[in-house]
Amino acid sequence: MTQPIALITGATSGIGEATARILSRNYRLIICGRRKDRLEKLKKELGREVQTLSFDVRDKKAFFSAFESLPEDWKKVDVLINNAGNAHGLDLIQDGNTDDWDAMMDINVKGLLYVSKAIIPGMVSRKKGHIVNISSIAGLEVYPRGNVYCASKHAVDALTKGMRMDLNEHGIKVTSIDPGLVETEFSEVRFKGDTKRASQVYQNYTPLTAHDVAETIEFVLSRPPHVMIGDVLILPTDQASSTIVNKKSQ
């Protein structure tokens, strides 16, 4: 029996890469990201049942062109993991950098929409599929200096709910995964390469790993056809909310 196909955006690091590694056991994969060298390295590690697509999700034409380049039998995507996303800066709203705002809204919201637009019509025609949107606790709460990032993830939460309503009659599952603090490249990107500042985010408590989140995605996808897990908030035990973390004194 031919394995189903899963397309994962943002597969070159963090949650996306960990998800690709776990799903490769039961899925043929289309792994996507900007860093082509990392995609090719991951493909080599995972095996031959993998296609790579290198593009920036902000570039609508680039994604549609990349997707159309796939062999026909690879375009019937069963599972879409909308994982690509980012955070830039941690500024007060009055001090915010508009380029940072554009990047967050373009990648976290518009990029998700562009990829979904290419994949969903096929799912609708086949009357099956599962969309997993990787959001954040920031899509459920707002925290100081999180303004635009939180807004972008609130938009993902709204889009997930809207997708679930619109696609209900077609038998398509839609899930939101909302992680709390996960130790990935996330903070390094947010602090624009300041590795020292980024590392301090994860000190004195035990954060989630990308693998923890990937295992949750695998569980959600493994439910029987009549079961849809709509929303999952996954936190490290030391975290109670966006602003409450039980950090141990040194």
CA dist., res. 129 & res. 219, Å (int): 16
The rounded distance, in Å, linking the Cα atoms of 198 and 196 is 5
CA distance 211 to 113: 25
Please indicate whether residue 143 is annotated as part of the active site: no
Catalytic member of 114, 149, 202, 205: 149
Q: Which helix (H) or strand (E) holds 218?
A: helix 210-221
Asked if 14 contacts 182 with a C-beta cutoff of 8 angstroms, the reply is yes
Structural element, H or E, at residue 173:
strand 173-179
Is pLDDT above 90 for 225?
yes
Give domain 5-234's CATH number out of 2.60.40.740, 2.10.10.100, 3.40.50.720, 3.40.190.80.
Answer: 3.40.50.720
pTM comes to: 0.94
Of the listed ranges 84-93, 104-113, 169-178, the least confidently predicted one is 84-93
Mean pLDDT of the chain: 94
Q: What is the distance between the alpha carbons of residues 72 and 118, in angstroms, rounded to a whole number?
A: 14
Q: Is the pLDDT of residue 192 over 90?
A: no
pLDDT at 5 over 80: yes
Instruction: From 87, 56, 51, select the one nearest 72 (Cα to Cα).
Output: 51
Q: Does pLDDT of 250 surpass 60?
A: no
pLDDT at res. 16: 96
The mean per-residue pLDDT over the stretch 34-55 comes to 93
Does residue 188 register a pLDDT over 80?
no
Residue of higher predicted confidence among 189 and 24: 24
Per-residue pLDDT for 241 more than 60? yes
pLDDT at 200 over 90: no
Beta bridge partners of 114: none
Q: Where are the beta strands (DSSP E) in 2-126?
A: 5-8, 28-33, 50-54, 79-82
